[in-house]
Amino acid sequence: SSPRSVDESSIETIVRPFKLNDMNYREIMHLMIEKFKEGLSAKTNPIATVKMFPTYVRSTPKGTEVGDFLALDLGGTNFRVLHIKLDGQDTKMESKIFLIPQKIMSGTGTELFDHIADCIYKFVKEQQLLTHYLPLGFTFSFPCRQEGLDKAILTTWTKGFKCEGVEGENIVELLHAAIKRKGQLNIKCVAVINDTVGALMSCAHSDRMCSIGIILGTGTNACYIERLENVDIWNEDKNEPKQVIINTEWGAFGDDGCLDKILTDYDRQVDKHSINPGKQRFEKTISGMYMGELVRLILEKLRRHKLIFNGVGSEELSTRGRFYTKYVSEIESDIDDSFKNTKQVFQDLNLTNFMVEDCRIAQYVCSTISTRAAYLSAAGTAALIHKMGRSEVTVAVDGSLYRFHPHFHDLMVEKIKALCPLTRFRLMLSHDGSGKGAAIVASCATQEG
């Protein structure tokens, strides 16, 4: 009953490349397992795309950790400074969000770390902790080659950061130098982790089956517990516990071209216009920094073919990065033909000339893209589950995409079930991983040190 004759088959033609079948996902899972193995082997690691960094975190928490800690959380939209009191299962936490201005994100490393030290100072002063010595856990969510719990060398910036003079450097040294320049602070960074490890540790604090941590936010990444005998690149002590958490950096899966045949022209466009072309190809099919842009590119294509909005767009819809990933969640949350959220999004984008059919089409596009993202995340998760070979596992997941998208969790569960029919698994939302996880690791570090 649509007043226009919409050519469904053309819409279908345009979105079809995003619809992968079960065989595709199974193949992606097997490829991922192969890439994990390449990263873990000393011989192939130097040229491996999935880096499989050992984190120096060897055991999950007992759940009885105590003490006062500071934590920093840097690695995406928000920079946070936190004060955490661990007391067994009772954790108290105060935190403050600071902005990292765009100018600093693409400035120099010195500017970045001076800004961080300023923020720490402001927070510690507000919390009336200036006179206290506090060990600090740093959740630094970028790919780092670690040489110890407190020594992390940044390999490459991702997720829109590009500060000069940090790649190849030990970020703990840069932080300590900035803290020293600032003065008046009695703080020592005792551990660096990334957000995946934070999620895993925070969840393992209350669930001893937890052995995988996944982030689905601005970017995507995963970590898991691996047996030392499988970690050929591990050159440190082989004592008990004979395991180490591996930060996979799976966002870089596909950077060797192994995903090219399942990627679409839209994926190639997103990559081409990103700050890091050719890098983080898996991440760019999934995470919050890119998913909205994929949807926007398809909507623009549909509009040019007069298959949506009667061919009339807006400056906003034509603007790169202007279709936020949160719109995808909002649009997919509409459950009836009133399309309340979808209409709001259209208004936000200054699209005035639309009909109910356009809402339906937009929702269909969003669902196609987010379903592929969820299934790809599931293929990665299934790869980890197979790699570990456990019969039961809890997966800690954090990040706004997973948290707020109305179907992401269910879609992931459905596809993991299909790919790992013999494993009992559950996906658990991890709370405050970047803060609590960092404090837990800092607590272990101070006890051993």
Residues of this chain that bind ligand ADP (CB under 6 A): 75-77, 217-218, 288-289, 325-326, 329, 399-401, 404-405
260 part of the active site: no
- Cβ contacts of 139 within 8 Å, gap of 6 or more: 71, 72, 73, 74, 75, 192, 193, 194, 195, 198, 433, 434, 435, 437, 438
Tokens, residue 212: 């995988």
Tokens, residue 78: 């928000």
Q: How far is the CB of 61 from ligand ADP (least distance, A)?
A: 22
Q: Which residue's CB is nearer to ligand ADP, number 427 or number 444?
A: 427
Q: Which residue's CB is nearer to ligand ADP, number 202 or number 218?
A: 218
Q: How far is the CB of 438 from ligand ADP (least distance, A)?
A: 13
Q: How far is the CB of 292 from ligand ADP (least distance, A)?
A: 6
Instruction: Tell me if residue 320 falls in helix, strand or coil.
Output: coil
Instruction: Tell me if residue 447 falls in helix, strand or coil.
Output: helix
Catalytic residue among 68, 195, 271, 398: 195
Q: How far is the CB of 232 from ligand ADP (least distance, A)?
A: 31
Give the whole-angstrom CA distance, residue 396 versus residue 224.
Answer: 10
Q: How far is the CB of 251 from ligand ADP (least distance, A)?
A: 11
Q: Which residue's CB is nearer to ligand ADP, number 31 or number 100?
A: 100
Q: Which residue's CB is nearer to ligand ADP, number 214 or number 262?
A: 214
Chain residue at closest Cβ approach to ligand ADP: 76
Q: Which residue's CB is nearer to ligand ADP, number 221 or number 394?
A: 221
Element housing 120 (H / E): helix 109-126
Q: What are phi and psi of 71, to 5 degrees?
A: -140, 150
Q: Which residue's CB is nearer to ligand ADP, number 213 or number 399?
A: 399
Tokens, residue 106: 């693409």
Q: How far is the CB of 202 from ligand ADP (least distance, A)?
A: 14
| Contact yes or no for 142/82 (Cβ under 8 A) | no
| Residue 164: DSSP 8-state | B
| Contact yes or no for 201/394 (Cβ under 8 A) | no
Helix ranges restricted to H, 157-287: 171-182, 195-204, 265-272, 283-286
Catalytic residue among 35, 159, 387, 415: 159
| Contact yes or no for 327/317 (Cβ under 8 A) | no
Q: Which of 325, 359, 319 is nearest to 342 (CA)?
A: 359
Cα dihedral 226, 230, 232, 234 sign: positive
Taking residue 103's Cβ as centre, other Cβ atoms within 10 Å add up to: 9
Q: How far is the CB of 339 from ligand ADP (least distance, A)?
A: 17
159 part of the active site: yes
Q: Which of 270, 269, 349, 273 is nearest to 309 (CA)?
A: 349
Q: Which residue's CB is nearer to ligand ADP, number 434 or number 443?
A: 434
Tokens, residue 75: 């690695």
Active site residues: 159, 195
